[in-house]
Structure 1
Amino acid sequence: MDGHFTGYASLFGVPDLGRDVVAPGAFAASLSARGAAGVRMLWQHDPAEPVGRWLSLTEDARGLRVAGQLNLAVQRGRELDALLREGALDGLSIGFRTQRATPERGGLRRLHSLDLWEISLVTFPLQPGARIAGKAAPAPPLADAIRAFARRVAPPRPTALGRPAAPLPHQKRFA
């Protein structure tokens, strides 16, 4: 595997187990200032355990969408990749400093502005919906894409008797 994955590190409008609710736009200033390269990817929020890098961090209508790449040159990265592949690990969690928040009814706290420092792969996320969506399929290499296209459009091959062979299951015969 190649260590790529996607998911949501935070969901907007959904209380976490600590009774915080992240508001849409809460990450905008931080993402603008830091970019994906300025936010660390850690294992279990441990600053001694960097495990990869974030390729993209974007806010959409649902929350903070992430795409990451585990560093497979380090042992922990290979271990996490194996756990992701097997479905044994799928949690994400954010590490941040609150810049602006307001209290809400029911003991909730709405987070309006956050300084995002890190996003961790975790066993148990505080935001139950903050999950890795699955392994992102890498784009096929150009040579493989060209070969696949050529197989689809190639004319039928002649048989030993000089007649066209029946098309392969993945080929269509054009009139």
Structure 2
Amino acid sequence: MSDLRIEGYASLFWTRDLNDDVTAAGAFRQSLEAGPIRMLHQHDEAEPVGVWDEAFEDARGLFVRGRIICATPRGRLVAALVEAGALDGLSIGFRQVKARRDGALRVLSRVDLWEVSIVTFPMLPQARLRVV
């Protein structure tokens, strides 16, 4: 099995997630300039499953494009689940750098982005991937 190419929005600007977080445009800029973002499965740092070849902010949110590496058992499993439609969520792993409260919402204006995971249940339900 060759590498599986995927892409999607890992975060959408000004969209409330299930944790009452909202990400402002520009929040990821410094992290993206600092270097590559890791691709994990279910936020498990023990076994990366691929690489994000591109990660950038556009007018809608944080867009990622990459490859699930099928040379490892976990990569083959994740690729098979994505192809079958069992996994299609994306989720960001980050540390808050700058945020403010707006009622019940936490508005994230700057985050230290560690990774983008392929997940079963994304905190932001609209954060989904597709096979390229």
Return the TM-score normalized by structure 1.
0.73
Q: Distance in 2 between matches of 1:31 and 1:2?
A: 23
Q: Deviations over 1:2-52 (max 9, x none)?
A: 310000111100011100000001001110112xxx211111111112101
CA distance in 2 between partners of 1:117 and 1:89 (Å): 21
Residue 98 of structure 1 and its aligned partner are, at CA, apart by: 0.6
The structure whose residues are more often strand, as a share, is 2
Residue 123 (1) aligns with residue 123 (2) = no
Instruction: Tell me which amino acid in the other structure corresponds to 2:119.
Output: V
Partner-residue secondary structure (3-state), 1:47? coil
Superposed CA RMSD in Å reads 1.0
Candidates 48, 56, 59, aligned match of 2:57: 59
**Matches of 2:8 and 2:37 in 1, distance apart?**
16
Q: Which has the higher contact order (CA 8 A, sep 6+)?
A: 2
SS at 2:121 equivalent: coil
CA distance in 1, matches of 2:94, 2:12: 15
Cα distance in 1 between the residues matched to 2:109 and 2:23 = 7
* Structure 2 match to 1:23: 24
Larger radius of gyration: 1
- Identical-pair percentage: 54
Tell me how many residue pairs correspond in the alignment: 131
Aligned to 1:13: 14
Name the SS for the 1:92 alignment partner.
Answer: strand
**1:135 corresponds to:** 131
Structure 2: gaps spanning 5 or more residues: none
Deviations 1:110-156, CA, capped at 9 Å, x for gaps: 00001101111111111111110x211xxxxxxxxxxxxxxxxxxxx
**Which has a greater percent of helix?**
1
Unaligned residue ranges in structure 1 (runs of 5+): 137-175
| Equivalent AA in structure 1 for residue 106 of structure 2 | R
Correspondence 1:1-175 to 2 at 5 A: 2-34=3-35, 38-105=36-103, 107-132=104-129, 134-136=130-132
Cα distance in 1 for residues equivalent to 2:98 and 2:3: 38
**In 2, Cα distance between the equivalents of 1:32 and 1:113?**
13
